[in-house]
Amino acid sequence: MAATQITDNDTTPEPVDSAAEAADRQVQAADAIEEPQSFPVTVIVRRYDPEIDDEPRWVDYDVQMFATERILDALHRIKWEQDPSLAFRRSCAHGVCGSDAMRINGKNRLACKALVKDFDTSKPIYVEAIKGLPLEKDLIVDMEPFFDSFREIQPFLQATGKPEKERHQTIAQRERFDDTTKCILCAACTTSCPVFWTDGQYFGPAAIVNAHRFIFDSRDEASQVRLDILNDREGVWRCRTTFNCTDACPRGIQVTKAIAEVKQAMMTGVKL
């Protein structure tokens, strides 16, 4: 590799040569891999159009897929090449907008983060809408009840006084609620929760995660208000710690832990 010169302006750390060479070898080995091949996959989608169907029906589709493609790609292939009436939500296609949570082989996932290679494609892949929210059409549910719960926990910073610049916060204080700031409101957690399935009034994990984000923010002054809201009959105490939510979360948020911390805060006060 070419020698690199460190000049006065160069503020970028340089890797030591041996590491770079090792990476090179690794990369060249990877380059030798042959062309990937596509293969047929059967995707069975639970379709429902209330204008036509009395009740949902499962429909089979055969699509040609590459192992590294997303289930979202499979749905697009169905929509764009076989049946354009298939309805589902999506936008970013890489797991950051929260549009396409769905039940894939019985587990809540984002279709854009579930790759074909994660599944045993000798068997069909089943795709259906998330459970517990009113089904509107095919893979689309009514998200309003979900967002209503979110809005109810007062999901905005409440702090008095207007500082001249930024409010200060230490790295450790910021770290305290880092995990729950990652939420993209996809509803994968809430709609995987057995308590929510049987009791749609339950706030659900996502709302609690977002309450946690503010309760443990050192700048916020309304923690007690949110704790009172969640102390309600339909609040945190309904959680039965089944961990479905944590398993479902595409952002890797420790949802069950966040709920436990909120419960803890109700009993012993907030530790920031």
107 binds, among ligand SF4, ligand FES, other proteins, none (CB under 5 to 8 A by kind): none
User: Where in the chain does DSSP place strands (E)?
Assistant: 39-47, 57-65, 101-104, 107-110, 125-128, 135-137, 140-141
43 binds, among other proteins, ligand FES, ligand SF4, none (CB under 5 to 8 A by kind): none
Q: Does 159 bind ligand FES (CB under 6 A)?
A: no
Q: Which helix (H) or strand (E) holds 113?
A: none
Nearer to ligand FES, 90 or 182 (CB): 90
Nearer to ligand SF4, 76 or 113 (CB): 113
Q: Does 113 bind other proteins (CB under 8 A)?
A: yes
Beta carbons of 28 and 4 less than 8 angstroms apart? no
209 binds, among ligand SF4, ligand FES, other proteins, none (CB under 5 to 8 A by kind): ligand SF4
DSSP one-letter code for 130: P
DSSP one-letter code for 182: G
Beta carbons of 40 and 62 less than 8 angstroms apart? yes
Any bridge partners for residue 135, and if so which? 141
Nearer to ligand SF4, 141 or 187 (CB): 187
Nearest residue to 214 via CA among 229, 197, 204:
229
d(CA 136, CA 50): 8
Least Å distance between CB 92 and ligand FES? 4
Q: Taking contact as CB under 8 A, which single stretch among the options 54-62, 89-97, 122-130, 191-199 is the one that binds other proteins?
A: 89-97
d(CA 48, CA 54): 8
Mask for 62-81, x = binds other proteins (CB under 8 A): ------x----------xxx
d(CA 64, CA 262): 46
d(CA 116, CA 221): 46
253 binds, among other proteins, ligand FES, ligand SF4, none (CB under 5 to 8 A by kind): ligand SF4
Rule CB under 6 A: which of 68-107 touch ligand FES?
90-93, 95-100
Q: Which residues bind ligand FES (CB under 6 A)?
A: 90-93, 95-100, 110, 112
